[in-house]
Amino acid sequence: MRADLAASYGEERLPRYTSYPTAPHFSTAVGPDAYARWLAELPAGASASLYLHVPFCREMCWYCGCHTQIVRRDELIAGYQRTLRNEIVQVAETIGRRIKVEHIHFGGGTPTIMQPEAFAELMATMRQKFFVLPSAEIAVEIDPRTLTTDMVEAMRLSGVNRASLGVQSFDPVVQRAINRVQSFEQTASVVDMLRRAGITGINFDLIYGLPHQTVASCLDTVRRSLTLAPDRFSVFGYAHVPDFKKHQRMINEGVLPDGLARHDQACAIANALKEAGYVQIGLDHFARPDDSMAVAFEERTLRRNFQGYTTDKGEVLLGFGASAIGHLPQGYVQNEVQIGAYAQSIAAGRLATAKGYGLTDDDRLRADIIERIMCEFSADIGDICARHGAEAEPVLSSAARLKPLITDGVVRLEGNRLAVAKDSRFLVRSVAAAFDAHLNPAKQLHSRAV
């Protein structure tokens, strides 16, 4: 990374581009009726991915940017699980046929907070209402502090084959500052438990830019993590948005690393993982060379969705649960964020769609350009425009933010082909933002570009 560029661009607040347009542009113009129509219009032969959001945790991690809440009573979780099951049935019946499913992802919150029997019932309902392919990837996000042996057994019996473990940092000083105390031994025990159950796809999530975090503590976390040999790492920069996430006010802003320190931490983590043999994938993922994600990156078939980088090639993502987002050929839909409002909609027999966005032809064109930039650090603007029946010149001319990036050496533009310089790839979000026709940073809450 070039420190001068990190200083120039690193403080800018930009989307992570897990969708385009991004969620702040969703509106109530798209509601349950539109979603029902879009589901019924899905083409024959369409395959889907399913995302299930479980918005509960036992305690709040102060860095968290997810839609979740703290619960002590298991009956609230059980009631939510029943609502999830009813929504799955409702959506499947609206589609009107049993479509193929290639990916299932449980996110949160803490999905494994459910009782094992409830988790197994949800999986059985999905298999009944959809054709879950034998080769489907079934992934679950896990808090190693609360995982039980009974839940691991339920996951095994339900066909789970990938687990994503929240690690963030093994530094006890950092852990106390973010209210997430999690020992290395706890994490190692969970990894061993999962592998003995045959759940061998293991991901670790790390975060840089946390309070009291240093390059040395980041490298120590990487060193410890490598002894557990996960297949993939996701490495995210902490997004401090206390006006949006009130619990982040518990974090002392005075001990947060500045832009240059974040840049140094991200660079150190990336170099350490690459030296250990992992392939850097896009903005924030790393994978073993033989992992399916590394293969997709090499073959230029990598995609990006609301879970980040993915091998999922499908055009349909069905989201279930409060705040869950779905993506269909026609556009995006998002469920009610508040759990009560979500549950009331499903109980009344209505789809829980609160807002969404209907895609235009220009949106689809720009979404393709942004996805290629985010996934490959390059894009053939001419080829992408041709596939959408458009000309490259107006698209490039409208990208005013691109000019300083070219001047600063972040981007090379040869004809209609754009490439991000290798030493500037940490600014890939800044490059993608040049093609964002909806971007207004002054009115949106996003994380720092670095």
CA distances from 420 to 17, 191, 319, 370 (A): 16, 36, 33, 12
342's tokens: 């979500």
**Is residue 332 in some structural domain?**
no
**Is residue 139 in some structural domain?**
yes
Domain boundary among 297, 320, 343: 320
Question: Are 307 and 168 in a shared domain?
Answer: yes
Question: Are 63 and 184 in a shared domain?
Answer: yes
Average pLDDT, the chain: 94
Q: Of the ranges 6-10, 148-152, 234-238, which one carries the lowest mean pLDDT score?
A: 6-10
* Collapsed DSSP state (helix, strand, coil) of residue 83: helix
Q: Where are the beta strands (DSSP E) in 277-383?
A: 279-281, 285-287, 303-305, 308-310, 316-320, 325-328, 331-335, 353-358, 378-380
Question: Are 117 and 250 in a shared domain?
Answer: yes
**Is residue 51 in some structural domain?**
yes
Over residues 52-81, the pLDDT tens digits come to 999 999 999 998 888 899 998 899 999 999
Which of 9, 10, 8 minimizes the C-alpha distance to 258? 10
Residue 426: band (very low, low, confident or very high) from pLDDT cuts 50, 70, 90:
confident
pLDDT of residue 189: 98
**How do the residues of the chain divide into helix, strand and coil, expressed in percent and rounded to 5?**
40, 25, 35
CA distances from 388 to 45, 178, 373 (A): 22, 46, 17
- Mean per-residue pLDDT for 314-325? 95
- Mean per-residue pLDDT for 106-117? 95
Helix axes 339-347, 74-95, angle to 10 degrees: 50
- Mean per-residue pLDDT for 70-96? 96
pLDDT of residue 207: 97
Parent domain of 404: 1-20+360-450
Distance CA 101, CA 316 (A): 10
Domain boundary among 320, 351, 378: 320
- Mean per-residue pLDDT for 348-369? 98
**Is residue 331 in some structural domain?**
no
Task: Please indicate whether residue 445 or residue 15 has the higher confidence score (pLDDT).
Answer: 15
- Mean per-residue pLDDT for 381-388? 98
pLDDT of residue 161: 98
**132: CATH:** 3.80.30.20
**Is residue 447 in some structural domain?**
yes
pLDDT of residue 443: 54
**Is residue 353 in some structural domain?**
no
Return the DSSP state at 247: G
pLDDT of residue 12: 79
319's tokens: 């989201």
Over residues 159-198, the pLDDT tens digits come to 999 999 999 999 999 999 999 999 999 999 999 999 999 9
* Burial 238-264, CB ≥16 within 10 A → b, else e: bbbeeeebebbeebeeeebbebebbbb
pLDDT of residue 67: 85
Which of 15, 110, 50, 53 minimizes the C-alpha distance to 312? 50
Over residues 263-273, the pLDDT tens digits come to 899 999 999 99
pLDDT of residue 10: 66
In the chain, how many domains are there? 2
Over residues 280-316, the pLDDT tens digits come to 999 899 999 999 999 999 999 999 998 889 998 888 9
Domain boundary among 256, 291, 320: 320
Question: Are 16 and 31 in a shared domain?
Answer: no
CA distances from 193 to 144, 153, 155 (A): 11, 10, 12
Question: Are 135 and 252 in a shared domain?
Answer: yes
CB atoms inside a 10 Å sphere around CB 376:
17
pLDDT of residue 3: 67
Q: Where are the beta strands (DSSP E) in 169-315?
A: 201-208, 232-237, 279-281, 285-287, 303-305, 308-310
Question: Are 114 and 15 in a shared domain?
Answer: no
Question: Are 385 and 264 in a shared domain?
Answer: no
Question: Are 1 and 39 in a shared domain?
Answer: no
Measured at the CA of 206, the angle between CA 377 and CA 16, to 5 degrees, comes to 40
With pLDDT > 90 as the criterion, what percentage of the chain qualifies?
83
Question: Are 127 and 145 in a shared domain?
Answer: yes
Return the DSSP state at 245: S
Residue 4: band (very low, low, confident or very high) from pLDDT cuts 50, 70, 90:
confident
Question: Are 145 and 131 in a shared domain?
Answer: yes
Residue 199: band (very low, low, confident or very high) from pLDDT cuts 50, 70, 90:
very high
Which of 16, 20, 35 minimizes the C-alpha distance to 355? 35
Question: Are 60 and 178 in a shared domain?
Answer: yes
**Is residue 347 in some structural domain?**
no
Q: Of the ranges 143-157, 204-218, 270-284, 429-443, which one carries the lowest mean pLDDT score?
A: 429-443
* Residues 191, 152 contacting (CB under 8 angstroms): no
Distance CA 370, CA 374 (A): 6
Task: Please indicate whether residue 449 or residue 220 has the higher confidence score (pLDDT).
Answer: 220
**Is residue 80 in some structural domain?**
yes
Question: Are 155 and 231 in a shared domain?
Answer: yes
**368: CATH:** 1.10.10.920
pLDDT of residue 164: 97
Which of 375, 436, 428 minimizes the C-alpha distance to 266? 428
Distance CA 426, CA 448 (A): 11
* Collapsed DSSP state (helix, strand, coil) of residue 64: coil
pLDDT of residue 9: 79
